[in-house]
Amino acid sequence: MNRLRLTPLVVLITTLCGYHTSLGLKPNSPVKILSGNLNERITLHCGGPQSVHILDASYGNPSVDHFLIKKSPSDAPHTLPVVQMLCEGKPSCDIPVNDETFKILSLIKDFHKLVVKYTCTSEALEEFPTYNVKARRGGDNTWDVQFEAEAAKEDLYLHVEDVNALCEKPLLRKKYIDVNEAEKECNSLSNCVFIIFNSDGYTLCESSSYTNATVQRNSKIYVKMSYISGRLPHNYEVFPNVQGVCEKKDVVFEMNSALRLEELYEKCREVDCDYFTMSTANGVKGLPKSFRNYAWFCKGFPKYVSHEGFIFGKNNKSSKEPKGRMTIKGFEGPLR
- Domains, the chain, ranges and CATH? 2-149 (2.60.120.740), 153-226 (3.50.4.10), 232-328 (3.50.4.10)
Least confident residue range of 6-10, 97-101, 264-268: 6-10
Identify which of 138, 74, 151, 160 has the alpha carbon closest to the alpha carbon of residue 112. Answer: 74
Cα Rg of the chain (Å, integer): 20
Q: Which DSSP helix (H) or strand (E) runs through 82?
A: helix 79-87
Q: What pLDDT is attached to residue 229?
A: 61
Least confident residue range of 25-29, 49-53, 180-184: 25-29
User: Rounded to whole angstroms, what are the CA distances from 65 to 8, 43, 70, 235, 335?
Assistant: 20, 21, 7, 41, 48
| Model confidence band, residue 281 (pLDDT cutoffs 50, 70, 90) | low
Selection from 69-83, 145-159, 242-256 with the highest mean pLDDT:
69-83
3-state DSSP assignment of residue 261: helix
Give the residue, 258 or 17, on which the prediction is more confident. 258
pTM for the model: 0.51
Least confident residue range of 52-56, 161-165, 205-209: 205-209
Identify which of 81, 106, 84 has the alpha carbon closest to the alpha carbon of residue 93. Answer: 84
Residue 335 has pLDDT above 80, yes or no: no
- List pLDDT tens digits, range 185-204: 898 888 898 999 988 899 99
303-315 vs 236-245, strand pairing mode: antiparallel
Q: What pLDDT is attached to residue 52?
A: 93
